[in-house]
Chains A and B, each alone.
Chain A
Amino acid sequence: MHDLSPSGLALPAPSRRTLLRGVGGAALLGAGIPLLSACGGSGTAADPKTVSLGSNSSDAVPKKAFAEIYAAFTKKSGIKVDVNTKDHNTFQEQINSYLQGAPDDVFTWFAGYRMQFFASKKLAAPIDDVWQKIGGDFPEAMKKLSKGEDGKYYFVPLYTYPWAVFYRKSVFAQHGYEVPTTWDDFVALCKRMKKDGLVPIAFGDKDAWPAMGTFDQINFRTNGYDFHVELMAGKASWTDAKVRKVFDHWTEILPFHQEGAVGRTWQDAAQTLVAKKAGMYLLGTFVGQQFTDKADLDDLDFFAFPEIDPAFGQDTVEAPTDGFMLSKAPKNRAGAVKLLEYLGTPEAEQIYLKADSSVVAASTKADTSSYTALQKKSFEMISGAKSLTQFMDRDSRPDFTSTVMQPALQNFVRNPKNVDSILSSIERQKKTIFASA
């Protein structure tokens, strides 16, 4: 009797209620999904034979190369690597919540401030024990890059690549250009190229980070590594005359840059170098990815950014380094340590380099005999450097570089005359950002 609805209709009550229960359940589930996914990761919590690994290598070439490293590790140690690959940019955007939730045991990351930041927030575990095993294989500069602010190791570098000025050998030969080593030679070369109908320096800053690379080069050539580090750490002032000098140099060569840079991607800018319409291009070695024709790639060469102040010469090289870190509370620490030790071996690096020839090994022990000419030159340049920088967004607070520096440098590239107001605006914003935790 009570199952009758108040209206007296003999509705199929149970089914209505089941439906409701279903709806309620779905709603609860819906609310539960974010919580569940926040827990994320794998369900292989206590399995000592598995290490979970969060990876940002979503592109085909590195993804395959990494898979080969993990397979070799499994073969050697009997420990399975459970890889959880996320889209490269998504991984970076979510790194914060990922590390605070239930991250994988080991995760891919970048050296420099970006690594130190998470180390100092206790979102990564120190791995001094790993470095006792692998330490002998790495040069001093790499060791420095792998340490947190507390002096403990947090990072295992795998590969690195330099930033330099790229050019085509055939274009230089055709016009009889010579590689410039000083600022004056460089400016003179730009002028000659312009007269010869070339775009002297290819440039595309639509993605807002390439201009940061130009700033880095001019800054550490003008003011040296130490000032660059201080500036990146928020200690030196952006209104300092030294910084103003950097922008004066930049203003001098800006007219030789490709027009309309803010609307162009780096890939499109690289195409002008491929097409021999541009004479030079300041970028990382990944510019080689745009040279799909083998003959064109063989024609590609590079030189270190020219000397500006003889006191600093060309002793600093910008060489972003990618590698691995250990999460704050790995489920299988013993296995993760074994994996990290393996990733620090020359063997693992060689497996990677076989598949991706645009980068070089971070280790000095890796076999360089199969390197291409570009790789050999990159390797020499990095190992001969007195100091290595990472890149502005890896050497400084990412929130500062992305919200302040990127728009500011785009503004400068468009209106070099505004430099004073741009610099004081940067300094004002920098103070509040670096004052926060």
Chain B
Amino acid sequence: MSTDTSTENPEAAAEPSPGAASRKRPTGHRRLLTRRDRITLGLMAGLPTILHIALVWLTALASIALAFTSWNGIGFDSIQWVGLQNFRELFTSNPQFWPAVEHNVVWFVVLILLPTPFGLFLAVQLDKSIRFSRVYQTAFFLPVVMSLAVIGFVWQLVYNPDTGLINSVIGANKPGHYIDWIGDPDLNLWAVLIAASWRHAGYMMILYLAGLKGVDPALREASALDGANEWQTFKNVVFPTLRPTNTVVLVVTIIEALRAFDLVFVFNKGAQGTELLSILVTNNIIGESSRIGYGSAIAVVLLVISLAVIIPYLIATFRKERRA
């Protein structure tokens, strides 16, 4: 590092004096950073790195290692190496595992097919600066601000088969014609997904609204001059410019589907028909005599699925950056 490079330092560039670049520097070999600065920088970069490695990487690697063991969480000497047994058991004899995988997939498909387009629709409508758009915006965004656990409680009141809103209104809480929204495995996943979609639509709406604000008005004007109607403008001009937003939306939705947990846990603890991988992990790891090895094995499966989704995305993003 020579003194010349110091002019490229952003701090120097931000300096108000225009003469800074031409200021005379003492010639010869001079260190850019003092010792204290280097220590400071070392700490700034080093501490987060250590924390990151300890809290993210080591724990992740530890749970991968634990996935091949049997451990009840009491003392390190009780860890037993069992090889692939946890996985074998998981894939062959756990009656909840495959439903859980399936439900995580269903979760993603539903979120991407229903609330996401609906959020886009809302965003397009609100972007037209109709009257009271702030009010609508707030109303649709409100569920996003609420914790999913609270949403779970609210919807539980709606779905409660004996005293809930729906069954009371349609009279489906009597013997003979009884609709069990929470306990019936053919219904409860969809019941929870409606609650999840209710929130997701607002989330998507805000993302798309931000994207739409970034669309150059000149483009719309040009397409209007070319005689395009509203749908044509949206399809051929506005939607293509939302590409970066769509990528974010896709990633956010995948993450939401994989980490789905709180809503279901509050709703019915992932019983009968609403099993999810995250809930199986929790049920096995948390408790008085935990099956930490087995729970870790489920967590590893979840990790592998996440990586399978995230890695192609990262590769695509980096490739784009290199091209740019």
A residues engaging B (CB < 8 A)? 2, 5-9, 17, 20, 23-24, 27-28, 30-31, 92-93, 95-97, 100, 114, 117, 121, 123, 199, 205-208, 259-264, 268, 271-272, 397-399, 402-403, 406-408, 410-411, 414, 425, 428-429, 432-433, 436-437
Contact = CB atoms under 8 A, between A and B. Distances in A.
22 contacts: A2-B34, A6-B6, A6-B9, A7-B12, A20-B43, A24-B47, A31-B55, A96-B73, A263-B160, A263-B268, A264-B183, A271-B162, A398-B288, A402-B283, A402-B287, A407-B95, A410-B271, A414-B183, A414-B185, A429-B89, A429-B93, A436-B80
B161 interface: yes
A207 B286 CA distance: 16
A411 B188 CA distance: 14
A433 B284 CA distance: 11
Contacts of B89: 429, 432
B246 interface: no
Given A30-B51, A31-B51, A259-B180, 11 more contacts: A6-B6, A31-B54, A92-B287, A260-B180, A264-B182, A403-B283, A407-B272, A408-B95, A436-B70, A436-B82, A436-B291
Shortest beta-carbon contacts, A-B, top 9: A263-B183, A262-B183, A263-B182, A260-B180, A7-B11, A436-B70, A263-B180, A428-B93, A7-B12
Given A7-B6, A100-B74, A414-B272, A263 B188 contact: yes
Given A261-B183, A414-B183, A436-B80, A407 B96 contact: yes
Nearest to A258: B175
Interface string B35-78: 11100100110011001001100000000000000111111001
Contacts of B32: 6
A264 B162 contact: yes
Contacts of B96: 407
A433 B295 CA distance: 12
Contacts of B47: 24, 27-28
Nearest to B12: A7
A421 to B, nearest CB: 9
Interface string B16-48: 000010010000000011111100100110011
Nearest to A123: B74
Interface in B178-203: 178-185, 188
Nearest to A272: B162
A237 to B, nearest CB: 15
A432 B88 CA distance: 11
A5 B93 contact: no
A20 B37 CA distance: 11
B15 A268 contact: no
A7 B161 CA distance: 69
B184 A263 contact: yes
Nearest to A271: B162
A408 B43 CA distance: 53
Contacts of A2: 34-36
B274 to A, nearest CB: 11
Contact of A206 (B73, B271, B287, B293): B271
A262 B289 contact: no
Contact of B75 (A23, A100, A403, A428): A100
A198 to B, nearest CB: 10
B147 interface: no
B161 A260 contact: yes
Contacts of A406: 271
B291 A429 contact: no
B290 interface: yes
Interface in B191-238: none
A258 to B, nearest CB: 8
B271 A9 contact: no
A263 B156 CA distance: 10
B181 A263 contact: yes
A268 B163 contact: yes
A390 to B, nearest CB: 14
B74 A433 contact: no
B34 to A, nearest CB: 5
A264 B6 contact: no
Given A8-B20, A9-B11, A437-B72, A268 B162 contact: yes
A199 B175 contact: yes
Contacts of A268: 160, 162-163
B255 to A, nearest CB: 25
Contacts of B85: 432
B259 interface: no
A245 to B, nearest CB: 23
A123 B34 CA distance: 54
A162 B279 CA distance: 32
Contacts of A121: 74-75
B271 A407 contact: yes
Given A432-B85, A432-B89, A5 B11 contact: yes
B247 interface: no
Contacts of B179: 260
Contacts of B175: 199, 259
Contacts of B317: none
Contacts of B163: 268
A6 B71 CA distance: 54
A394 to B, nearest CB: 10
Contacts of B44: 20, 23
Contact of A117 (B40, B55, B178, B288): B288
A117 to B, nearest CB: 6
A96 B289 contact: yes
A27 to B, nearest CB: 5
Nearest to A90: B286
A263 to B, nearest CB: 3
Contacts of B188: 263
